Amino acid sequence: MPMTAGRSGNRLIASVRPTVTAARRLIAGGRSAVLALLGSVAVAVFLALCIVGLWRFIPAAARLLRRLADSERRRLARYYQPPIAGRYDDVTGSLSQRILIVLHDPATRRDLAWMIIHGPFGLICLVLAIGLPAGMLNALLVPTYWWAVPGGVPSSAGYVVDSWEKALLSPVVAVAIGAVVLVVLRGLARADYWIAATFLSPRADQVLSLRVAELAATRAAALEAHGAELRRIEQDLHDGTQSRLTAVAMHLGILERALLRGDIAGLEPSVIPLVLQAQDTTSDALSGLRAVIRSIYPPVLGERGLDGALAALAASSAVPCSLRMGVVPRMPAAVETAAYFAVAESLTNIARHSRATEATVRLETDGRRLTVEISDDGVGAATERPGGGLAGIRRRVEAFDGTLLLSSPPGGPTVLRLNLPA
């Protein structure tokens, strides 16, 4: 019986969790719905100005519309992969040229259609995402307080609870509302995403050109990163291993000349330090060579797999780090290496800059994609700078046609989310 109850509880949690996630997405979408309604009013004002001859406001209205649509794309990218891409014609030239570009760009009409639909629909979703769970909670609690309210309590089902018979019926109403919540909120979240994906995605030919441009950029970045990695390895070998081996050769040459002179007994006090110094330098050279090899492909990945390698990273992190993951199958070595170095660089950044007291690394995979999330409770305000650690992580991820999302508001928390093909 306990095992059956445990399995039932797990199934209940598994069915409730997606509904809670859908409610969070709909509530977050309510903010963009309000902005969409305000944007609709602003666009209407701009159009009214155009009617009286003030056409110069059209590019400004287009900029407002594009910013709102891009904000919605970024919001949905936190929940859905791959993210919705935006593709717009460049608005340049004289005022008349900019107006013609905006009016002829199909993306302008699609963004406008999305804004008009999303405003009222998003508000309806917001009301239901808050109202249905609140009604269910009220129906559950009515039996505990109805008797203290003069005249009874309005029920979530529309009747007034003024007797124990009606009060005991409220939990049944709560269960019915809960069933509705499980179905409706998930459906509304899917519909909200469908509306955005339908209207905010570029045309098929634009998708193709955008995809070609992205692949060209990521491949160029991969080649650049590869060249930088080769230069780093060459520099490490030149400055470290090569100089130490040169010192060993020099010490052995001195020792050879001493031995050729034949005065071994007289040279013994000076020969032994030379041998010891050559031995120490050889050990240093081997250590440097091993460090270079580990920077190319960490041996722990081959020995223990990605889960074991990340467990070792978490255990050696300067900031206390917890690792959360299920069963992680073996993946291509290049993908495992990219994920490993991304986590290693992130934990190093957390230790140096975040002033965090705790970090968390999460791994999820559905067999096709690997998702890695690194979060901390530090001060936030992390930014991606050219040549910095985050830029290096992005180059590694995009070389595999993956995505990287950074959320780091001032005050924290900082969340870095990587998505790689598995």
Q: pLDDT of 63-118, one tens digit each?
A: 888 888 888 888 888 777 677 877 777 777 787 888 888 888 888 888 888 888 98
Residue 4 in domain: no
Residue 312, pLDDT score: 85
225-264: pLDDT as tens digits? 555 666 666 666 666 676 777 777 776 777 677 666 665 5
Cα four-point dihedral sign 102, 107, 109, 112? negative
What pLDDT, in 10s, does the model give residues 282-338? 777 677 666 666 556 677 777 788 888 888 888 888 888 888 887 778 888 778 888
Given phi > 0 = left and psi -120 to 50 = alpha, else beta, which region is 391?
alpha
Same domain for 348 and 250? Answer: no
Are 343 and 362 in the same domain?
yes
pLDDT band at 3 (very low <50, low <70, confident <90, very high): very low
Please report how many Cα atoms fall inside a 13 Å half-sphere around the Cα of residue 404, on the Cβ side. 23
Residue 393 lies inside a defined structural domain of this protein: yes
Q: Do 109 and 180 belong to one domain?
A: yes
Q: Is residue 32 part of a domain?
A: yes
With 70 as the cut, is the pLDDT of residue 206 above it?
A: no
Specify the CATH number for the domain of residue 356. 3.30.565.10
Domain that residue 54 falls in: 10-200
Listed in order, strand segments (DSSP E) in 304-382 are 321-325, 359-365, 369-376
Pair 249, 312 in one domain? no
Q: Is residue 1 one of the residues assigned to a domain?
A: no
pLDDT at 144 over 60: yes
pTM higher than the cut 0.75: no
8 Å CB contact between 405 and 363: no
Residues 279 and 340 in one domain: no
In a domain, 3, yes or no: no
Distance, CA of 267 to CA of 270 (rounded, Å): 6
233 shares a domain with 164: no
Same domain? 243 vs 102:
no
DSSP 3-state assignment of 403?
strand
**Same domain, yes or no, for 15 and 137?**
yes
pLDDT score of 5:
45
Q: What is the pLDDT of residues 386-409, one digit of tens each?
A: 777 788 788 778 777 788 888 888
Last residue in a domain, options 239, 264, 296: 296
Condensed to tens digits (0 to 9), the pLDDT of residues 34-46 reads 888 888 888 778 7
Q: Are residues 159 and 90 in the same domain?
A: yes
Domain identity same for 137 and 231: no
pLDDT score at 174: 83
Please report whether residue 50 resides in a domain.
yes
Tell me how far apart the alpha carbons of residues 100 and 91 are, in angstroms, rounded to a whole number: 9
Looking at the 3D structure of the chain, how many domains does it have? 3
End residue of a domain, out of 242, 264, 296: 296
Same structural domain, 386 and 286: no
Burial class, 61, CB count within 10 angstroms (exposed 0-12 / middle 13-18 / buried 19+): buried
pLDDT at 7 over 70: no
Residues 380 and 355 both lie in one domain: yes
